[in-house]
Every structure is written in structure tokens, then in C-alpha cells.
Structure 1
Amino acid sequence: MAKSQKSTLLVILEAVQDLHAQEQVVTRETLAELTGLKLTTIDDRLGVLVDEGDIARVQRGVFVPVVRHAPARPMSKTVMPDGTVKIEIGDEVLTLTPREDRALANLMAGAAAQAVAIETGRNTAILAAELGEEVKRLRRQVIALEVRIDPNQGQLFSTPCTARAPAANGAQFERAV
């Protein structure tokens, strides 16, 4: 990566972070106004930052910085025979009384409900996208098929709508070619 490109990437990334921290909507126009860079440069660098995972496009033309946390540490919870609880997070160990464990569980209930809501929303979005694609596919099939009644024989048939073929009495029927 060229030195000038890296510096403009950093300028734009910092501008995105600053605007977001100030609860401002981050668009290419606001970045151009703040940084003084040309829109073509900003568009290019925004694309790179999105591809690298440093920022996210939340809707067309609106960006937010991506928060990166340290890798999760191993965790475990052990209930001891006397009712105390050992919670291990990485190298740290907490020893809780039964009452403290219940209090911590109450504090964590909101986070657990939030995790369930996030996963449910994610699964719903995936399902909605799949159903949308299936509806599009079925709509194309319905458009491609046309049901007609042959007046000579009174038969109901379905054929792809690709070409018109004349019937014996001059009526037009859809026929596959």
C-alpha cells in the first residue's frame, strides 16, 4: 500500500470514528467537508475500509466504524459442593457466594435476553431473504406459465409462454418451442 494511500485511509478512518463518536451521520459528503479530500478519493478509501472490515456500510451512503474487541478468553463456571461458585475468565478466578451468584445471574439476564433477540433477528433476516428469493423464483415461473382452455376440446393445459401457435379455429394458444 502506498504511503499517501495509507495516510488518507487513516485520515478517513479517524474522521469516521470522530463523526460517529459525536453522533453525526457519516456520509461521503460529510467526510469531504471535514477532510477536504475529493469525493473520488473518499469513495475509493471508503471501499477499502469496508473491504478491510474497519468500517461498515449501514445503509446506502452511511458508514459507521467497526468496533474490534480483544479475542474472547476461555470461561467456565463451577458450582462447588458447599454452594459457592467459581467463575474462571482467562487466568482470573472469582469465588462467589450463592447469593452473589444469583445477583450476578439477575444482572446477566438482560444480556442473555439480548443475545437471544439478536440471534432471533439474524435468523429471521436470513429466512426473510430466502423466502424473498423463493417468491421471486416462483413469480418468474408463474409468469412463464399460462393456463388456457382449448375451446375445441375443453381441455385445461399449461405450457411455457414462449411462442404462440394457432389452433384449428384460429385462436392463439401458448406453446413451448
Structure 2
Amino acid sequence: MNTTPKATGQIIWDTMLALRESGQAISRQRLMEQTGLRYTLVDDHISRWIEEGRLRRVIDGVYELPEPTPEPRAVSVTDLHDGVTLIEVGDQELRLYAPETRALARQLGGYALQFAQLQTQHDMGALLAEATVRNRALADRVSDLERELRAVKQGQGATSAQLHLLDPVP
């Protein structure tokens, strides 16, 4: 008999499976109550599983387990010399003539567009986060410089001609 204690990740995962099987919502609060684990442990595992795609956030603090899908098969598309396009998915192959290839491309175009939009959304989010961090750093720096300027103006014994040099250029 195995008497080794379960890892915290396995405890949380098993609890989520039990909640799903019983038709209950999977929430951070419920996981903490049922496992007795600290918020930081639960949240650490949840965050990692969301990044890995093993868990999906429905709304803040509420999650769902996506339905399992099989491992992706190898996909290959080859244009043959006779104008036929050979599409191989795993051990299956499909030979398409040009009109059929165009029809398939039209139908799959939505998936390509969706992927491009998701990638753009991800890239824009990363740029926004970077710009926000830089903006905050620059605002802090400007605030520090303004504070230093006020201190210099208030009591460093500078002449009015010297203080005039400190004023920003209009």
C-alpha cells in the first residue's frame, strides 16, 4: 500500500475533478475550503495550469477544466508537380485539385484569422504592459526631479539669475 502523501498540485487537481463531476463550480475559494491549502499554493497551481492550457478562467476566481483532446497529429501540406495538393494528417492523406484546395482554404480562413487576432491581442497586451511600466517609471522620475527643483529653489541660496536657469524652457 502506498502511504506517500499526495503532492499539493495533485490534491488541488483531484478536488477540481471531483467538483466538475458533481456539477459544482470550481472556484479558488471552494478549492481552499475543500483542500485546506493556503491561497498562495492554490493560486500558484491555478496560474500555472491556465498558462499551460490545462485550466480555463471563466471569470475572476472561477475556473473550468477544458474537455480533454487527443495529442495533435503531424500535419503536412505539399504541392505536387501535377497541380495536386497533398495534405497528410497523421497516417491519413488527402489529394486535392486546385479548386478543392481553394475551397478548403476559404473554409479554414476563419481559423487563420482567429489565430492572427489572438496573436495580435497577445502582442498588444505585452506592449501595453511594457508601456505602462515605462510610463510609471518616467512619472516617478519626473516627480523626483520636480521635488529636487523645489528644494533647490527654496533654500539653496541661489540667486534669481541662477534660478531662472532651472525653469523649464517654454
User: C-alpha displacement at 1:141, in angstroms?
Assistant: 0.8
What is the CA-CA distance between 1:142 and the residue it aligns to?
0.4
Partner-residue secondary structure (3-state), 1:167: coil
User: What amino acid is aligned across from residue 34 of structure 2 in structure 1?
Assistant: L
SS, match of residue 77 in structure 1: strand
Instruction: Report if aligned partners of 1:83, 1:97 keep a CA contact under 8 Å in 2.
Output: yes
Task: Using the TM superposition, name which of 60-69 and 100-109 deviates more.
Answer: 60-69
Shift in CA distance, 160/59, structure 1 to aligned 2, threshold 3 Å: farther
Question: Residues of 1 paired with 2:68 and 2:151: CA distance?
Answer: 54
* Equivalence for 1:100: 100
Kindly state the Cα deviation for residue 55 of structure 1 after the two structures are TM-superposed.
Answer: 3.2
Give the corresponding residue for 2:37.
Answer: 41
More helix by share: 2
CA–CA distance in structure 2, aligned partners of residues 138 and 8 of structure 1:
45
TM-score normalised to structure 2 length: 0.65
Task: Confirm or deny: 8 A CA contact 2:46 2:55 kept in the other structure.
Answer: yes
1:167 aligns with 2:157: yes
- Cα 1:25–1:132 shift into 2, 3 Å: farther
* Contact 1:16–1:65, Cα closer than 8 Å, also in 2: no
Is the partner of 1:37 in helix, strand or coil?
A: helix
Cα pair 1:86 1:93 within 8 Å, conserved: yes
Q: For residues 71 and 115 of structure 1, what CA distance do their matches in structure 2 show?
A: 19
Counterpart CA distance in 1 for 2:136 and 2:130 is 10
Segment of structure 1 superposing worse, 135-144 or 94-103: 94-103
Q: Distance in 2 between matches of 1:71 and 1:161?
A: 64
Residue in 2 that maps onto 1:109: 109
Aligned residues: 154
Residue-by-residue CA offset, 1:113-142 (whole Å, 9 max, x unaligned) = 001101111110010011001101100110
Secondary structure at the aligned position of 2:123 is classed as helix
